[in-house]
Each structure stands twice: as C-alpha cells, then as structure tokens.
Structure 1
Amino acid sequence: MKKFGVVLIIMNMFLTGCASTYNLTEKQSDIISTYAAQVVLKHDKNYDDTLVNVPENSESNKNTQEDKTEVKENIQDNKEGVKTEEEKISLSKALGMQDIQIDYVNYELNRTYAEENALAKSSSGKKSLLIMHFNLKNITSEEKLCDILSLNPEFHVIINKDYTIKVQPSILLSDLGTYKQSIGTGETKGAVLISEAETKKFENIKSLELKVTIKGTTFYVKL
C-alpha cells in the first residue's frame, strides 16, 4: 500500500500545477498516467490481471507463425536449389561443347599405357593406371576445332561414390584435359583421361563419376 500511496502523490504532483515546473510533453504525461493507472488496477481486488494476457491465437502470434513457416520454406527451396546444381549432366555440356559430342566408352586398368607403339605413361611401385576412354564426335556439317585446352579444366574421378582421385595430365595429344584438335564433319576421334592410385583402390569398381571444375564451377558427370 506504501507503493500505491506514492503513486497517488506522484500523480497529484504531475497532474496539478506542480507539473508545470517540469515542462512535461504530452507523451511523457501519457506514460506517467498509464503507469499510475496500471499500479492502481493491480491493487484493485476486482481487477483480473488475466485480461491483459494476449491469447495464443492472436493476430501477432499468427503472423509470427506465418513468418517461421515462410523462413522454413525458403530454407527448403535453397536446399532444392543446391541439389539441382549438383545434378549429373553430360560431359559435353560440362565442357560447353555444343558442336562436339563427348561420350564415355570404357576404362581399363594397367601398369602402363602406350599409343602408336610409344610409351606414354607408366605407374610406379604398387600402383596402377586407370585409363578412361572417350569418343569425340563432330555433330555439325563442317569441320570444328575442339579446344578443351583453353578451358583449363580440372578432372577428378570418383570411384564407387566414396573414393576420389585427381586425373593426372600427360603428354598425349589425345589427353582430354589438354585436347585441341580439329575434327571433320561426322568424324569421331578418341581421347583419354588417366589416374594413378594403389592397385587395391581399383578393385571391384561398380561406378565411375567425373568431377569437372572449370573457373571455380563444378559439374558431376556419370560415366
């Protein structure tokens, strides 16, 4: 009750002539009046404090729930967007080749690889070579230059979806990573990509994928 009495005194001071010495603004007077009224109500036995509670289904809570739902949906949309960017595409599309169709043919495992009776690459120690073969076909009605060299692509091969090896460059003219040759209309030429790893890593190959990175953008190609 002491607090109640103090409030009444304050109200009397600010709502009478004494208030003029404080030069209160209209907003400040309203704040003091509102606070004082709340204190008076709290000391009224007939006052029901639950009346000031905001119902759970109020418009404010409803808007809050809608905002949370919208944020959740946006997060889900972003996840879907990432998934779309990582979908598998063709190697031709990954390399931006519109006139040249690039198809994966097969792979072979060996300790060495040679072309035209010239040794191009050999493995060391207990390692083996994974040689992946591709066909490059000119699908236009005129001769086209297949210039992959200028793209400076970086290749990684993914074995069984859980082991990744970087493709190593070679001195081969048929190396797909440094390929730059003209291909006649309707003509098909061969190309290779070669990786080296411990022989046991190449056992029981069930799937192969290429991770192709060009200027910071990465694509995944299922072979």
Structure 2
Amino acid sequence: MGSIGVYFWRFQETNRISQLFEQTNGYVYINLQLAVYVNDVLTFLLGYCCFFSMIKFVQLFRFNQRVSLFAETLKSCAKELISFSLMFTIVFMAFLSLFYLLFISKLSTCSSLLQTAQMLFEMTLMKFDASQISGADAFLGPFCFTLFMLLVVFVCLSMFFSIIIDSFHHAKDNQKEDQIMLSFMLTKFLRWTGLKRLNQEEIQEERDSRMRSQYFDPIENFPDRIDQLLEALNKIYIDQKRELARLEKAGL
C-alpha cells in the first residue's frame, strides 16, 4: 500500500513539473530535489516488495524436504535471533563509538560513522589491515583490535552459529513425514517420466537397499524362531491333553 501511495505521489509531482516546464518553456529554475527524493523512496519500497515477494516463493516449494527444513530452521530460531540481534547491536555500537572517537583524526577509515561501521564489518569478515590500526596508536590500536576480535568475532559469531545449528537439529528431528513422502513421490514421478535419470551413486544405493531388504541375519531372527517353536510345542501338548481327555471319557 505504501508503494502505491508513493507511486501516485511521484506521478503527481511529475505532472506538476511537466506543467511548470510547459508554462515557462524551460526559462524558469525548477527544483527537482523533491522529485528525486520521491523517486528514491519509491525505488527502495519496490526493492523491499520484490525481496519479500521472492521470499514468499519458499512457501510454494515447502513440499521439498530441504526448502521446508530451511523454513522451519528460520522459524524455530526467530526469537533467539531477535534477542541476539539486540545484543549484537549494543556491542557493535559500543565498538563503533570507541573506534570513531579514538581514531577519527588518525585513520581515514574512521573519519565518519559510516566508514567506521564499514571498517568494523570488514574486520568481522576477517578483512583488515592490522598494520594500519597499530600504526595509528602503539597501545590503543592493538588493544582495541584484540578486544573487538575476541568479543565480536569469536564470542558473538560463535553464539550466532550455535543458535542456527541448534535450530537446524531441532527442525530436522521434528520434520514432518508428509514432506518426506512428497519428496519421495516427486522423485519417483520424475524417474518414471524420464525427466530425471539415476546416476551411478543412486543406482548403487538402490541396489544396496534391495540387498539389505532381502538379507536375513539368523542371529536376529533366532528369538522369533524360538517363539515359533514354543508355540508349536504348546499346541502339540494341548492337542495331546485333549485327546487323552476324550479317550478317558470314552472308557478306552
């Protein structure tokens, strides 16, 4: 709805500028700042709409086992990720203020808050120049750098990966059986229509599964055989007792 409203706003602004240009024949200064601003806002909104629309396609492929596992993992770790994001934002803003105030006059990458944030994100991705930081200050540079690496890279990122891994195992253990059956049916249908051919590994795996289904371990089947033998002996004993009772009644 917001995108539609901004679109009509841009349409009206475009008509206003066109009418003004037509009336003055272009001899009057026309301020295009508002039009550019509205166009940028509309571009941002359309980008977000396209992003969330593409994310919605995950629901269409929920019958696939891997896509469903991905969606369930994100759903199960949503609350933990929100809490972690708040904590990470506080820690990151603290280091952002620290690096900006300490090295604003010594490093070009810390000349503004935006550039400082970009430098810290690059440090999180292990892309940094340690000599430049240590050259800015002999003590504070290495100290702040080491503190950032310990708290953000090792502690915070380890917590993030732990949340994702735990949610993945939880979603995998609680995965629905119908999704597995749908994936199995889809695979069988593709093989039957010839759209998907088996590779060498899948052929070998299918042969192994057939051999495992036909193989009977005598040790594993031994208790069942004993039960069958006891049932047969019990039946013979009961039949003999009935026959003796019948003969006694007949006086034989």
Q: TM-score range by the shorter chain?
A: under 0.3
Q: Which has the larger radius of gyration?
A: 1
TM-score, scaled relative to structure 2 = 0.23
- Structure that is richer in helix per residue: 2
